[in-house]
Amino acid sequence: MTSQPRRTLAQLADDLGDLRVSSRDLVTDCLARIASVTGEGSRTFLKIYGEQALATADFYDRMRQQGARLSRYAGIPVSVKDLFDVAGDTTLAGSTVLKGAAAADQDATAVARLRAAGLIVIGRTNMTEFAFSGLGINPHYGTPLNPWDRTTGRIPGGSSSGAAVSITDAMAFGALGTDTGGSCRIPAAMCGIVGFKPTASRVALTGTYPLSASLDSIGPLANSVNCCVVLDSIIAGQSPFESSSQAPRTDLTASDLRLAVLTNYVTDDLDEAVAASFERALRALKGAGARLTEVTLPELRELPEINRNGGLSAAEAYAHHRARLATEGSRYDPRVSVRILRGSKQDAADYIELCNIRTSFRERVAERIQKFDAVLMPTTPVTAPALSDLVPDDEAYVRTNALVLRNPSIVNFIDGCAISIPCQEPGTAPVGLSLFGLRNTDRQLLSAAAAIEATMATGA
């Protein structure tokens, strides 16, 4: 892969608005990257909308040349995860099981909002089958390799695997993903970009293939916090083009922040690279004047028992898939189907009890962290492992998947919001620093994230 500077949506919008670059240029460049990054384009994208994207780009270029007033972001290519409906296509959700199903008659709400803002959907990205793994491995369509250390061949993280790789390899400038237990933040952390999981109710799930109705969230992956702010505003149905009381603050610095540093559970079993990068981030923030308070959440030790039979995700996935599993189970990735089938061990009483436990858990955690602007933790305890260590070894796959999901899934369980920001030393393996907060504190969290991103950019 030939590296190139990662351009933000703001930079691209300025260039388009000043006619320094055309939308056709951007789309052509992305299509060339899809074709030229050896083997990765075909593993990253399950479908490419090349002709449609070029035609749309030409339309926006003509309109700009004629002085038409367009959306600031009109003409910028983005990717969408394969579980979003796109009118005229069958939504496969990274599986072969759904081949032959009826095509969608309209775009998913989130996709429609991207198009309405002028963004150009360049293709559908690969993912873990039915979004049920944090590793990003797909035996049906291949696994897009992490751009970090492609010689070794490392996992991208999942389930929004192709979404992350489409950004890191400049095949798109924003990506639409989903996050049920970390599926935006894990691949963002492992690939060295930014991934945001909003409060679940913030973005409508209409037209999105479900994993777990209680936990599913729709969020962006991109090259900066501000890029994620823009995309989140669009898919949430807000205007990103005007100042608003709902817009994140841009005047904050690290010295304005009260941050909790979570010191139990999420810091167990950190590999050396993650531990070093996390400490580097904390030093940088402390040096910049942030007020850091170490915090323990004893409730987190309850999670293994709460989820002993697969938790909400397995119960709700099983309810959705059980009829198809009974007739077509052999067509599923067995590592996905076995996780779904854990839901069969739960009855209605178990499910109701689990929902009640979640409410209590969320309230107890809220009491401990509500006074902070954000809580800090490593996004994942490990950097991206080699694909060859996981594909042939079921035990390693299960163990690593559970470890990778451990930290980010906390936020989904408390119905919070979270963002992962790169925090590694330049030139080393990507590591994500997570900030999380309670539900409906998205604006506050994104404001803090922008300040922390700026601090990390200056170095520790």
Give the start-end residues of each E strand in 318-450: 374-378, 417-422, 432-437
Catalytic entry in 22, 23, 133, 159: 159
447 is known as an active-site residue: no
Cβ contacts of 274-279, under 8 Å, gap ≥ 24? 274/378, 274/380, 274/381, 274/382, 274/383, 274/431, 275/378, 276/425, 277/378, 277/423, 277/424, 277/425, 277/428, 277/431, 277/433, 278/378, 278/423, 278/431, 278/433
Locate the domains of the chain by residue range: 9-308+319-457
Q: Does domain 9-308+319-457 have CATH number 3.30.70.100?
A: no
Predicted structure pTM score: 0.97
pLDDT of residue 250: 82
- Among 22, 23, 81, 233, the one annotated catalytic: 81
- Residues of the chain scoring pLDDT < 50: 1-3, 242-243
First to last CA, the chain: 28
Which residues make Cβ contacts (< 8 Å) with residue 417, sequence separation at least 6?
Answer: 196, 197, 198, 199, 202, 411, 436, 437, 438, 439, 440, 441, 442, 445
Q: Which of 137, 168, 176, 139 is nearest to 154 (CA)?
A: 137
> What confidence tens digit (pLDDT) does each residue in 313-337 have?
999 999 999 999 999 999 999 999 9
In this prediction, residue 164 carries a pLDDT of 98
Say which of 22, 133, 160, 183 is annotated catalytic. Answer: 183
Give the SS3 label for residue 292: strand
Please give the pLDDT value at position 392. Answer: 97
Token readout for 154 is 């490392």
Instruction: Quote the CA–CA distance of 372 and 322 in Å, as a whole number.
Output: 42
Q: Which of 335, 369, 404 is nearest to 137 (CA)?
A: 335
pLDDT for res 248: 80
Q: What would the pLDDT profile of 270-320 be if each residue is shown by its tens digit?
A: 999 999 999 999 999 999 999 999 999 999 999 999 999 999 999 999 999
SS3 359: helix
Give catalytic status of residue 3 as yes or no: no
What per-residue confidence (pLDDT) applies to 458?
A: 81
pLDDT value of position 460: 52
Task: Quote the pLDDT of residue 226.
Answer: 96
- What is the C-alpha separation between 413 and 212, in angstroms, rounded? 11
The encoded tokens of residue 78 equal 């983005």
| The predicted structure's pLDDT at residue 245 | 57
Q: What is the DSSP letter of 193?
A: S
Q: How far is residue 131 from each of residues 50, 330, 338, measured CA to CA in Å?
A: 25, 18, 14
- 434 belongs to the catalytic site: no
* pLDDT confidence of residue 243: 47
Closest CA to 141 of 39, 15, 34, 62: 39
Provide the pLDDT for residue 39.
74
Residue for token pair 């969608």? 104
Signed CA dihedral, 152, 156, 158, 163: sign only:
negative
Distance in angstroms (rounded) separating the CA atoms of residues 137 and 162: 10
